[in-house]
Amino acid sequence: MSNSDKSVTKTFGILTAGGDCPGLNAAIRGVCRAAYDRYHMNILGIAGGYRGLINGDIRPLHPGDFWGILTRGGTILGTSREKPFKSNEIGEDKVKEIKDNYRKHKLDALVVLGGNGTNTTGYLLAQEGLNVLGLPKTIDNDIEGCERSFGFHSAMAVCTDAIDKLHSTAESHNRVMVIETMGRKAGWLGLYSGIAGGGDVIIIPEIPYDIKAIGRHLKERAKNGRTFSIVVVAEGALSAEEANMEKKERKKIRNEMAYPSIAYRVAAEIETETGMETRATVLGYVQRGGIPSASDRVLATRFGTFAADMLARGEYGKMVAQIANEVGSVDLSVPAGKTKKVPTDDPILDTAVAVGTCLGV
């Protein structure tokens, strides 16, 4: 009996959705090479995420399409933030279009590579009767049920390199430099890159900050001869006052302040509180671009080949995940609609405090 005869899945579609991220192509390669070489599956590439599945932008993928893409950034399939289950004004039934195209192309399964939103949509499609398998990608590392997503390590390296570079500018000008990282509502990226880059203050969403506590820390550093400081702030950070507000009230106040982003607001608050010259730098999309790190290449490849084995066994309705430092899987209901945040008792926080870092309180 050949491996193709052993495989439950004969034909599957694969798509990438949400934001781009280092390691997507490595994961695509891992899935496709193992599925094609080991199990002789037919592979259909879906362009532009769920939008391509809605519009029928689907084509066969051949070995030449997924060879030589291990080190490439971005995604050869393209992506979008299409949310098919979100209601729309013109009455399109996007879910029906997805199901029709799934059947039209005789797919046995659908492999979706993405973050919280992508895997949540995958879960909802599984509830509609489709065979779905998810892979976790995000630089934010905020996918519930997975210890580490591919893309996180690469983004952390970019952020750490930027912090390293800003150290010399801060020291030369005796300034406080505020560096903003991505991460949405979770502080993993800011916390880990802040520790790796020697941040003097790290502000994350899970620990609402007190500007007076930060001011005291920075003035104490200056008193001890440290005439410059590095402040790392995650984009979802909020003050202690904001933490007690309703979302609408918090949004209203932020709009009235009219700062471009949280880094600029924190920089202004620090300057007012301490009198120290302060500058803000927003790292932005450079965190998501470029080639994946060696670690992310390995992780994405492991996730991909594991997914191919799951397809062969017909294990659907799950997301591949790193669990206890090993590759395994969780039910798609685990990450659906959730955000994995930094626990306030995580030992990494004590590590930061132990080396003199202020966490904003």
According to DSSP, residue 141 is labeled -
Sign of CA dihedral 242, 203, 339, 255: positive
Q: What percent of the chain has pLDDT over 90?
A: 91
Respond yes or no: is residue 140 known to be catalytic. yes
With bands split at pLDDT 50, 70 and 90, how would you rate the model's confidence at 1? Answer: very low
**Whole-angstrom distance, CA of residue 150 vs CA of residue 294:** 11
Q: Which of 103, 90, 89, 19 is nearest to 56 (CA)?
A: 103
Residue 93: what pLDDT? 92
The single residue of 140, 142, 200, 296 carrying the catalytic annotation is: 140
pLDDT for 78-121, tens place per residue? 999 999 998 765 557 999 999 999 999 999 999 999 999 999 99
Mean pLDDT, the chain, as a whole number?
Answer: 95
Residue 223: what pLDDT? 94
Residue 186: what pLDDT? 97
Residue 90: what pLDDT? 58
**Whole-angstrom distance, CA of residue 129 vs CA of residue 319:** 16
**Whole-angstrom distance, CA of residue 296 vs CA of residue 287:** 14
Average of per-residue pLDDT across 310-324: 98
Matching residue, tokens 């995958």? 122
Average of per-residue pLDDT across 308-328: 97
- 3 pLDDT exceeds 80? no
pLDDT for 229-257, tens place per residue? 999 999 999 999 999 888 888 888 888 88
Residue 250: what pLDDT? 87
Give yes or no for a contact between 287 and 18, defined as CB atoms under 8 angstroms apart.
no
**Whole-angstrom distance, CA of residue 198 vs CA of residue 243:** 27
**Whole-angstrom distance, CA of residue 12 vs CA of residue 131:** 9
Other Cβ atoms less than 10 A from the Cβ of 102: the count is 22
**Whole-angstrom distance, CA of residue 133 vs CA of residue 219:** 52
- 336 pLDDT exceeds 50? yes
pLDDT for 174-195, tens place per residue? 899 999 999 999 999 999 999 9
**Whole-angstrom distance, CA of residue 65 vs CA of residue 76:** 8
pTM of the predicted protein model:
0.93
Surface-to-core class of residue 171, CB atoms within 10 Å of its CB (0-12 exposed, 13-18 middle, 19+ buried): middle
Give yes or no for a contact between 36 and 5, defined as CB atoms under 8 angstroms apart.
no
